[in-house]
């Protein structure tokens, strides 16, 4: 199969490091020569890439000093990076990859990428819509099966419920046996979508009053499991409302990452440790990357759930790389629900 390629590729670059939250002028869509793959690299035509609000912490001042974050720090002039799906244009001889094969890698925000063989996954089947491979459902699944155990009928609280992880987590928690699922979101419109088919029974609101009061009303029997993607006041409130023996899993820190000031890499919170002690609460940080065996299990179970209509994949599709900077700014501004994808 011969694939005809253009001479140039468009990509999104960081113009300057923002102070506070980024705006459109911090990014530029530029034309660059088509990348020339090295001997151990694959030339990939990207079909789509994910946009995540957490990129903010990798473009702010001091990003290179952060340890333990699985994304690269970005400096002015760098091309942004995120999970992408694409098709192989050319692969090294003997690599087992063929032009047209569907692959996943981390060099999004560009139309064409030269991806090291070692940094690329071949996707087994070509689904009707390849963007399903950009979802964060498996992160939610790994967290809710490996990070915590959901007792049958438990009340689960998911903070950041309208995000890529949270919009899958409510549905998955219910499928795994939760009795009541409560989320948090930024607007009543998002709350309505979350309670209308995305697994949530009730949603508390950022800016809707003290979280302890909101959570006490939304979870009158207390909270047994917390999947926290936000931190800050929401984490403190969930500990206050937690039942004895509750499991609190911290998977994200959106309250810090998306704070209006600072670099987005701290999420301080005042926790009543006496509550942890008295209620014997388990509190731990968790990364899905530590449980890679959850991925094939998720692929199999989610395919069944999607086929049966038990699960949906909420996402926003944005067309064209020219609209990628706007997608970043809007995702950080909380103007989308679910996984945000730029389609090329
Ligand atoms: N542990 C892991 O394995 C793992 C893997 C991937 C990502 N993560 C982390 O998990 C977290 C969630 O990721 P995601 O991809 O689901 O996020 P996302 O989709 O990028 O989340 C964007 C959402 O954040 C909310 N938001 C905006 N400003 C906020 C603020 N000041 N405080 C709280 N929420 C705010 C908005 O929703 P509302 O306006 O509705 O609040 C917005 O829609 C991030 O911290 C990410 O780094 C963890």
> Is any atom of ligand 1 closer than 6 Å to the C-beta of 230?
yes
Burial of 110 (0-12, 13-18, 19+ CB in 10 A): buried
User: Quick one: CA torsion of 223, 229, 232, 233, rounded to 10 degrees?
Assistant: -40
> Is any atom of ligand 1 closer than 6 Å to the C-beta of 334?
yes
Look at 97 and 3; give whichever has higher pLDDT: 97
* Residue located via tokens 């403190």: 236
Residue 127's pLDDT is: 72
In DSSP notation, 292-332 reads TTHHHHHHHHHHHHHHHTS----EEEEESGGGHHHHHHHHH
Residue 64's pLDDT is: 82
Atom number of ligand 1 nearest to Cα 53 = 20
| Section 144-168 average pLDDT | 98
> Is any atom of ligand 1 closer than 6 Å to the C-beta of 167?
no
8-135+314-343 folds as Quinone Oxidoreductase; Chain A, domain 1 (3.90.180)
Summary mean pLDDT of the chain = 95
CA dist 131 and 146 (Å) reads 25
Say which DSSP state 20 is in. S
Confidence of residue 68 (pLDDT cuts 50, 70, 90): confident
If you take atom 30 of ligand 1, which residue's CA is the nearest one? 255
pLDDT at 183 over 80: yes
Residue 1's pLDDT is: 56
Atom number of ligand 1 nearest to Cα 139 = 3
**What's the token pair of residue 226?**
């917390």
Other beta carbons within 10 angstroms of residue 236's beta carbon come to 17
pLDDT at 6 over 90: no
Sequence spans of domains, the chain = 8-135+314-343, 137-290
CA dist 21 and 334 (Å) reads 12
In the three-class reduction of DSSP (H, G, I as helix; E, B as strand; rest coil), residue 74 is classed as: coil
Burial of 73 (0-12, 13-18, 19+ CB in 10 A): middle
pLDDT at 128 over 90: no
- Strand partners of residue 227: 158, 249
Do residues 66 and 108 lie in contact, with contact meaning Cβ atoms separated by under 8 Å? no
* Residue located via tokens 């509190």: 283
Residue 265's pLDDT is: 87
CA angle in degrees (0–180, nearest 5) for 177-339-129: 95
> Is any atom of ligand 1 closer than 6 Å to the C-beta of 91?
no
* pLDDT above 70 as % of the chain: 99
CATH classification for the domain delimited by 137-290, as one of 3.60.150.10, 3.40.50.300, 3.40.50.2300, 3.40.50.720: 3.40.50.720
pLDDT at 2 over 70: no
């Amino acid at each position: 199969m011969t694939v005809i390629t253009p001479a140039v590729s468009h990509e999104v670059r960081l113009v300057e490091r923002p102070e506070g939250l980024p705006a459109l002028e911090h990014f530029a869509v530029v034309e660059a020569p088509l990348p020339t793959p090295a001997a151990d690299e694959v030339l990939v035509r990207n079909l789509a890439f994910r946009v995540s609000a957490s990129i903010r912490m990798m473009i702010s001042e001091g990003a290179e000093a952060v340890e333990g974050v699985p994304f690269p720090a970005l400096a002015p002039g760098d091309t942004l990076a995120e999970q992408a799906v694409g098709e192989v244009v050319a692969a090294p001889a003997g690599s087992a990859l063929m032009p047209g094969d569907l692959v996943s890698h981390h060099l999004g925000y560009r139309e064409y990428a030269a991806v090291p063989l070692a940094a690329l996954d071949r996707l087994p089947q070509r689904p009707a819509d390849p963007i399903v491979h950009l979802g964060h459902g498996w992160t939610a699944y790994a967290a809710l099966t490996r990070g915590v155990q959901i007792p049958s009928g438990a009340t689960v609280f998911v903070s950041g419920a309208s995000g890529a992880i949270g919009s899958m987590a409510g549905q998955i928690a219910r499928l795994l046996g939760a009795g009541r699922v409560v989320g948090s979101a930024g607007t009543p419109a998002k709350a309505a979508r979350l309670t209308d088919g995305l697994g949530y029974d009730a949603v508390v609101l950022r800016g809707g009053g003290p979280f302890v009061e909101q959570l006490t009303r939304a979870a009158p029997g207390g909270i047994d499991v917390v999947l926290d993607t936000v931190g800050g006041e929401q984490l403190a409130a969930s500990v206050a409302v937690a039942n004895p023996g509750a499991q609190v899993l911290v998977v994200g820190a959106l309250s810090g990452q998306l704070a209006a000031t600072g670099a987005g890499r701290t999420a301080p919170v005042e926790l009543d440790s006496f509550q942890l002690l008295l209620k014997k609460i388990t509190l731990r940080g968790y990364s899905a990357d530590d449980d890679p065996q959850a991925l094939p299990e998720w692929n199999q179970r989610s395919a069944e759930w999607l086929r049966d209509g038990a699960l949906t994949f909420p996402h926003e599709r944005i067309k064209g790389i020219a609209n990628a900077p706007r997608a970043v700014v809007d995702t950080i501004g909380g103007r989308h629900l679910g996984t945000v994808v730029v389609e090329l």
